Chains A and B, each alone.
Chain A
């Protein structure tokens, strides 16, 4: 009786059903996720005492002033943005032919195999992949022996990150092209368009929102990265390193929080911009 009673109650009350369904994830998203983001923002408005011993909970814009006035932070911010843009562009250029081949040329069997091949690197540890690239770039390494290694530095970082995030660009593009019916390509040819005109007028417009969706991943993941640059980036620092160093070495959590707000603001601006393209419906 009891169980049928509660089942009946659930049946009669759609609000209760909805609450039970959405309660736990809303708690996670609202309290833990957005809550920590708010805590981040609040922390960025605090400071540390002169000895670096503890956090002083007094409201101050000191951290923001430091961030905006010291040249080194502006340089690092621009370097990070440049890296993110380069990684995104490289991934976009590599992913278009790969996704096009997977979605429109390969047989269904090869399609499955290629999806697995694209996904496989995601199963391997990030660190292993980054160190693998360190080996590639090292003096006397495979790339160096054919004279193609740029050595450790920003270029190596960009290549490594572009490799790491490539699946995040290929998969949305593949999904977008999969939804593009073959008959659209045939219709374009039938109406007199050659291969390049079809690419430009039919494939690219369909591909664009998918590319933007992929770029959200490649861009935001690059903005937050600090490990790859440590492994293959030589002496270069990205925003992630500033956060890491302020927090661990400098023991200055409020300043770390301030710096980490930069990627948040950049991503918010980016998301607002791409919302207009309809790319968010493609995620």
Chain B
């Protein structure tokens, strides 16, 4: 039964997307129906996701037996339709399916071709759920790649002025990374030579490839190094890890609000999830050998992202760079190869998903009123002044999101960043200290943005804005609740992922 519900969670959005295609007219009645169908479908998907918890055994560290299934698909290539989730994937599914109804609500007033927009959003949801719940490499890859098509159109049709450039760059970077991932996956299939299990992510874990070598021309290298770095390209582009991050600011700035929210909230986590689920447990020897490189790149992302964010005058760009910076923390936690560091990384994935989604949603709220996103306009005047006096509700929500993003104790991100530093401190003392300084910059750019926008006397323009309406409050409320709740009482989330993380860490520290 659990497996059936998981399947339903996976395919329901895509089926509703196909259902939307029957509305051919653009009359306002039909548009209304389209919106409600999308909202109900995503909300129902979220409820089903909650329902999965009833089949969830929290003490079981590996894949939940009640929530997994395997059906042979392409037998000649040992490709199976294998679904399955554990605590880590569940946390991501929860985040994803929570954000989608919110995104539908926040794009309620979209005017340009709403049918295609909502259909593509629902397609996107299925592909993301597919990435987080498939345990077969081939399936994983298919979902990973298919995700590009809805994303490309969502950015390039509904985006800002420079949308085509941004969408193309996004597509090329991700495709370029993932094609190397494909080479690595096929390599795993042939080198492991494990018959029917060769494409199963779980069966391949635990250092099966420790002594295998391959020849690259006349050059003999360990297979684990080769595959680890190929996978690294694929995942690092997605995270995005310095120096593969340059697509992110463009994509974020040009994307419509809902797509930015999904991009920052869930898509980036696909990269770190790939490291956690594939690269690290399957190639523990490479993970151990190159952990310093990973942590260093994570640190560079943290510091560099923070510095870039300090210099931005566009709100979305600032938050995009803050994502680079915060995802750098996740990579530091993963690279530390310790239980608490990895725990912190998984929590940070979840918490950053909440806080960055909130920030992007709030930018969207403001953008709907003012149609610009300048903190400082190109002519050096401030884009907004005195918002706090004129829009009190908006200010409160913004404060919660900002403090959640910069890791104030009592809000959700604090605990995850704390765990990351705790885990990384022992092996990478210097880098951890530098990372903590990065945190300081994080506070600096966010608070500086706040000061410039919210303090001072409201300009004439600001006075014309309405405060948040009920719809906006409705979709911000669950996120606000979650960041505060998880900040005070992180235990439910930690309990959800702890055993799964320990189980994985055991696999990637097996050779250390």
**A, B from the same assembly:** no
Q: Chain B residues in contact with chain A, CB under 8 A?
A: none
